[in-house]
Structures are given as structure tokens and as C-alpha cells.
Structure 1
Amino acid sequence: MSGVKLQNVIKRYGDVQVIHGVDLEIEDGEFCVFVGPSGCGKSTLLRMVAGLEETTEGSMSIGARDVTKMDPAERGVAMVFQTYALYPHMTVKENMGFGLKMNGHPKAEIEAKVAEATRILKLEEYLKRKPAALSGGQRQRVSIGRAIVRGPEVFLFDEPLSNLDAELRVEMRVEIARLHKEIGATMIYVTHDQVEAMTLADKIVVLRKGFIEQVGAPLELYRDPDNKFVAGFIGSPAMNFLEGVVKGGRVHVPSLQNSFDVPVALPPEGTEVTLGLRPEHIEVDPAGDTHDIDLTEALGGTSYAYLVSASGEKIIVEEHGDERSQEGMRVGIKFPVERTMLFDRKSEARIR
């Protein structure tokens, strides 16, 4: 298996630049997830690694080979798409071995590789079925099996779970994580779902408008984001953001009708800032600032209360236990100031 290295990679369509000088190194055997909102360039970047999109500038290597100008078939990658792209007239076994058959591989080799992929993905009982007789999750496993039999250096996944229902998505996440653990291959995975990113990745690459915002391990990005965008994108529900201003050596937050001594060096007096606070760090407390509850979501062991401050800003509070807030109530809240994050309101950069 091999790692992947991108150096100052740029992609243009005519005069429009969509990927802006990306530098990235993915280690051999690493599970790397590209995540970001629609239109951020994550699928374009993945297709550039696959060779399905031409690299306008910069270089790309897989292992020790420069693959920047190579055709997709020469790169040693296998791609799993959002759509299953299975041949409807072929059985599962025939679908998985078809690529090797077309490339002239011996029958015995094809049989052995299909058998190994079947074992890994637990598809033994489905080998004689055709795609129409399979569920969505089973079809996607066949699609992954077709990639496995090729023995690629790098696996590429382009939102492979988007067409599945919620239960199957969870099941397939576990399957893909188990697959990576068993075969130890380098994998690059594209998703807009940050839950998938957090649960699967060794390394997350957060993209916005063709730029890399931050790269790091899932909990590293969650606990120590570089800017407001990453802080808001990683985590579900999203981080609460409250507008404030530096006043008298403290951070004054009008919606909380209070000022705070935060554990960072403050910018100059009058600087407009944003206070970030995760829902799980807020507690309901009768002695705290009071807010109206607009909506609650009860999810079993956890509930989320959506509060509205006097100035109209929304605050999400995570609750546990038997007694929880209800819609229409007015409650007080408190939180440990050391858990807050501070961002410059104009640049959105983290103030550390």
C-alpha cells in the first residue's frame, strides 16, 4: 500500500479556479476523510487523485510514483461511487470479477481474489444473486468488493452511503471501518456528513471554497479548531456562537447580559468577537441567565433544548437525566468559562 502526497494542487475550469493550492500528505494505511459543505471542492479533489479530473497545476504522487499526468488505470487506485454502478444482468460474483476478466487475468486468480473479497465483506450467500435481488447496503458492499479484487494501492470513496437509509448508513459505516482495519489500505473518503467523518477518520481534512481550513485527528479538530468555520462544522449539534465585544478587559456578551474573564489574551478594547460554546458544556441552572425555550428534541438518553436569548440569538443546550426542559418554559443557564472559545468576528480566526 502507499501514501498520497499533494503539492500546491490547483484546479481551474477555464477562468474559474475551484481548488486553490492544496498541500496535503496522507500516510500509508491512513483513513483520510475530506469533509465540508456542498461546493467546497471535496469531490473534485478526490476525482483529481483518481485521475478523473486533470490537475491544472501542482503535483500528485502515490507512493514513490508521480501520478500527476497518469491515466486513471495506471494510478493504482479503485473508486467506490455514490451510485453502485453494477451490471444488472450479472451475478454478484460476476460483477466483482468483471474488471479482472476484462484485463485478461487468469481464471484461477480471479476466483481467488473474488473469494477473498467475499470473505471480507461476508457476501457468500449472495454470490449467485443479481443486483435487483439485493438491498441497497448489499449492493454497496458488492461495489466495495469490486474495488477490493483489483488490489489497489489506494481506495477512494465518493459519498458511498448517501443513497442509504439511516439504519443502513450506520451499518455500512461499521463495515467500512472494519474493512480498513482488516486490509490496512490507504483510504480517502468524501462526505458532507461530519458524523461519518468523526467516526471513520484517522485524519480529517476540512475544506471550504477550495481551500483547506484545517487538517487533524477528529477529536483534535473538535477540541481545538483553528477558526469559527471548523468549530461550527465539526460537532453535532453545532457549536453555539454568541456575539460579544472586548470591554474593560473582559468579554461582554449582550445576549447573556454579562461579561466574562476568558482564559486567553484579549485583543484590544472594542474588538468585536464571537464566543463559542458547545451544547454539552451548558447546564440548566435557575440562578443563571434566563432564556425562553423555543423547541426541544427528545432523543432518548439525550435531549436538546433550543433557547432564544433576549436579543434573539439561539442557544442549544444538551440535557440528560429524567428531568428535562420543555417547550414554552423559561430557564436559566450556566457554563464553565474555561470551556468557551473566542473568535475574531471579522477574520473568524481563533483567539488563543
Structure 2
Amino acid sequence: MSGVVLNDVIKKYGETQVIHGIDLQIENGEFCVFVGPSGCGKSTLLRMVAGLEETTDGAIRIGQRDVTRMDPAERGVAMVFQTYALYPHMTVEENMGFGLKMNGHAKREIQTKVAEASRILQLDDYLKRKPAALSGGQRQRVSIGRAIVRGPEVFLFDEPLSNLDAELRVEMRVEIARLHKDIGATMIYVTHDQVEAMTLADKIVVLRAGRIEQVGAPMDLYRDPDNQFVAGFIGSPSMNFVRGTVTDGGQVDVPGIGTVPAAGLDAGREVVVGMRPEHITIDPAGDTHRVDLSESLGGVSYVHLLGGNDKIVVEERGDYRSKEGDTVAIRPDPAYLYFFDAASGQRLR
């Protein structure tokens, strides 16, 4: 297995530049997730690593090899797409081994590799079935198995779970995490779903408009975001943001909440205060905010509050849960406040 290094990678379509000088190092055996909103360039970047998109400038290395101008078949990568793209007239066994057969591998070698991939993906009972007799999750496992038998240096996943229903998505997340643990391969995974990113990744790369906003371990990005975009994108529900002004006393006057400590910030500065839902306490005796909606998920509820110019979501646990129409006050935990520049969105530390 090999790591992947991108040096000042650029992609242009004519005069339009969509990838802006990406520098990134993915270690050998690492599970790296590209995440970001639609149109941020994450799939384009993945396809550049695969060789399916030409790199306009910069360099891509896989292991010790510069693969920037290599054909996809020479790069030592295998890609799993959003669609399964299985041959409907072939069995599961034939689908997984077809690529090796076309490349002239011996029948015994193909059988051995297919059997090993089937064991890893728990497909032994389905090897003689055709795709029409499989569920969506099973078809995607066959697609992954087809990649495994090739023995690639790097696995590339392009939103492989987006066509599955909610239950199968959870099941397949577990399957992919187990696969990475079992074979220890370098994997690059593209998704717009930050829950997938948080649960699968060793390293998350947050992209916006063809640029890297931040790179780090999932909990590092969650606890220590560099800017308002990352803070709002990582976490579900997302971080709450309210505008305020720094006072002479080293505090921020936040409408609907009151003053919160903000040592080290210049008086008069306009800032955005970030608060995660789990770091806010509801005071049912207050009257500042009206409960617009309470989403109960069993062990936890997410309470949507109206008040001032900002909507705020608060996490509630325990026996007492706020109800629609209640009026409440809120108290953020001062140990978990984030401050961002109101103009640039950059974190103020």
C-alpha cells in the first residue's frame, strides 16, 4: 500500500479554474475523507487522483511514483462509484473476477482473489446470484469486492452510499470501516455527508470552492475549527452562530443571551459567537426565546428556538423536554464558546 501526495494541484476547464493549488499529504494506510458542499471540487479532486481528470498543473504522487501524467490503469488505484455498474448477466463471482479475467490472469488466481474478497465482505452466500437478486447494499459490496481483487495501492470511493436508504447507509458505513481495518489500505473517500466523514475518517479534508479550508482528525475539526465555515459544516446539528459586539469590559453583548466573556478581543469589534447545541442549557423559567419546534429522537431532543435575529438549536436530554410554544431562556457554557471575525469568518483565538 502507498500514501498519496498532492503538490500545488490545479484544475482548469478552459479559463475557469475549479481546483486552486491543493497541497495535501495522505499517509500510507490512512482513511482520508474529502468533504464539502456540492460543487466544492471534492469529486473532481478524487478523479484527478484516479487519472479520470487531467491535472492542469502541479504533481500527484502515489508512493514513490509521480503519476500525474499516467493513465488510470497504471496508477495502482481502484475506484468505487456512486452507481454499482455491475454486469446484470454475470453472477457475483463473475462480476468480481471479470477485470482480472480481461487482464489475462490465471483462473486459479482469480478464484483465490475472489474467494478472499468474498470472505472479507461476507458475500460467500451470494456468489452464484446475479445482481437483480441482491439488495442495494449487497450490490455495493460486490462493487467494492471488484476493487479489492485488483489489489490496488489506493482505494477511491466517490459517494458510494448516496443511493442507499438510511438503514443501509449505516450498515455500509460499518462495512467500509471494517474493510479498512481488515486490509489496512490507503483509502480516499468523497462525501457531502459530514456524518459519514466523522464516523469513517482518520483525516478529514474540508473543501470549499476548490480550496482546502482545514485538514485534521474528525474531533480536532469538531473541537478546534479554523473558521466559521468549518465550524458550521462539521457537526450535526450544526453550530449556532449569533452576532455580537465586544464591550469595554472584555465581554460580548449577544442579543437574546446577554453578555459572555471574550478576553483579549478589542472593544467595539463585531464578532460572531459560535455555540454548539450540546453546550447550551435551557432555563424553562425564562422568557427570551419561544420554542418553535422540538425534534425528539428518543434519548435526545433538538429544540429550535426563535428570538432576536438568529435561530438557535439546543440539545436536551433527561426527563424534561421543552415543548412547542414554551418560552425559555438559554445559558451557553462559557468554556465552549467560539469567536469568529464578523467580516472574514476566521477564528479569533
TM-score, normalised on structure 1?
0.97
Task: Return closer, same or farther for 1:289/1:230 CA change in 2, 3 Å cut-off.
Answer: farther
> 1:84 Cα deviation (Å)?
0.2
The answer to whether structure 1 residue 341 and structure 2 residue 329 are counterparts is no
C-alpha separation in 1, matches of 2:203 and 2:259: 37
Higher mean C-alpha displacement, 281-290 vs 48-57: 281-290
Confirm or deny: 8 A CA contact 1:256 1:289 kept in the other structure.
no
Confirm or deny: 8 A CA contact 1:288 1:334 kept in the other structure.
no
Residue 92 of structure 1 corresponds to: 92
C-alpha separation in 1, matches of 2:273 and 2:78: 43
| Deviations, residues 85-144 of structure 1 (Å, cap 9, x unaligned) | 000110000000000000001111100000000000000110011111100000000000
Task: Return closer, same or farther for 1:289/1:143 CA change in 2, 3 Å cut-off.
Answer: same
C-alpha separation in 1, matches of 2:257 and 2:317: 26
- The secondary structure found in structure 2 opposite 1:256 is coil
Structure 2's unaligned 5+ residue stretches are none
> 1:287 Cα deviation (Å)?
5.8
- The secondary structure found in structure 2 opposite 1:275 is strand
Structure 1's unaligned 5+ residue stretches are none
C-alpha separation in 2, matches of 1:39 and 1:253: 36
Confirm or deny: 8 A CA contact 2:194 2:234 kept in the other structure.
yes
The answer to whether structure 1 residue 83 and structure 2 residue 83 are counterparts is yes
> 1:257 Cα deviation (Å)?
5.0
> 1:269 Cα deviation (Å)?
2.5
Residue 322 of structure 2 corresponds to: 325
Residue 235 of structure 1 corresponds to: 235
The alignment-based identity, stated in percent, is 74
C-alpha separation in 2, matches of 1:123 and 1:260: 56
- The secondary structure found in structure 1 opposite 2:199 is helix
C-alpha separation in 2, matches of 1:265 and 1:254: 17
- The secondary structure found in structure 2 opposite 1:78 is strand
Q: 1:5-84 alignment to 2 at 5 Å?
A: 5-84=5-84
| Deviations, residues 3-41 of structure 1 (Å, cap 9, x unaligned) | 000000000000000000000000000000000000000
Residue 3 of structure 1 corresponds to: 3
| Deviations, residues 154-179 of structure 1 (Å, cap 9, x unaligned) | 00000000000000000000000000
> 1:347 Cα deviation (Å)?
0.8
Confirm or deny: 8 A CA contact 1:257 1:289 kept in the other structure.
no
- The secondary structure found in structure 2 opposite 1:61 is strand
TM-score, normalised on structure 2?
0.98
| Deviations, residues 54-111 of structure 1 (Å, cap 9, x unaligned) | 0000000000000000000000000000000000110000000000000001111100
- The secondary structure found in structure 2 opposite 1:98 is helix
Over the aligned positions, Cα root-mean-square deviation in angstroms equals: 1.0
Residue 269 of structure 2 corresponds to: 271
> 1:286 Cα deviation (Å)?
4.0
Aligned partner of 1:16: which letter?
A: T
C-alpha separation in 2, matches of 1:304 and 1:344: 27
